Chains A and B, each alone.
Chain A
Amino acid sequence: EAGVAQSPRYKIIEKRQSVAFWCNPISGHATLYWYQQILGQGPKLLIQFQNNGVVDDSQLPKDRFSAERLKGVDSTLKIQPAKLEDSAVYLCASSLGRREGHEQYFGPGTRLTVT
């Protein structure tokens, strides 16, 4: 079974530029998550989708971050404009559903460096 796919794997941009990340979840997984992992810290949930609807985006900095999952499958996360403190690994995860017992499977992440 194919895992969660993410691209690009690495991205270097200058501050104030914009960037977008793409995620393709495991086939059949209704729930998709975006996490931000700053070096030396654990992942922090940014947004959770159930199919094409947002379940929770309380920790998403909405002045610069946006995310969508228009057809309930692939998702994109955008940052515009980027700040130095956005340097992190952006992890996408998916699960069958929102039940607590549904394991979350993570993609390899996109490592963003903002200079």
Chain B
Amino acid sequence: RKEVEQDPGPFNVPEGATVAFNCTYSNSASQSFFWYRQDCRKEPKLLMSVYSSGNEDGRFTAQLNRASQYISLLIRDSKLSDSATYLCVVNPAYNAGNMLTFGGGTRLMVKP
């Protein structure tokens, strides 16, 4: 079983739609969680951290469910510029330092 699993997609949605991605992780001791965004042929960039209480940044909302070991990302009012691959990222162990394990990514395509 992969440490971090994501549906690879692609998710094809029209502009203005709401889209949600889920991600599951295998290590129950994982401590910190993130969503990164990667544009085609570019480097990954941090989109947002995911806190136990959930967090929101504009049109983006991230949630963490420790009991079920999954993380979600909700994008409201999708823009063409949201088209990218979204990587679910986990720091897998307590006090392991800044070690990140990446999922395979979910590809989003927003159409006009």
Contacts and interface: CB of A to CB of B under 8 A. Distances in A.
Interface residues of B, number: 21
Contact of A41 (B44, B45, B104): B104
A100 B8 contact: no
B98 A31 contact: yes
B97 A104 contact: no
Contact of B99 (A41, A48, A91, A103): A48
Interface stretch (A16-24, A62-70, A106-114): A106-114
Interface in B43-90: 43-46, 87, 89
A104 B100 contact: yes
A98 interface: yes
SS of B interface (majority): loop
Contacts of A103: 46
A45 B104 CA distance: 13
A56 B12 CA distance: 39
Contacts of B91: 100
A48 B97 contact: yes
Interface string A94-107: 01011111111011
A100 B31 contact: yes
B43 to A, nearest CB: 4
A108 B42 contact: yes
B43 A104 contact: no
Contacts of A44: 102
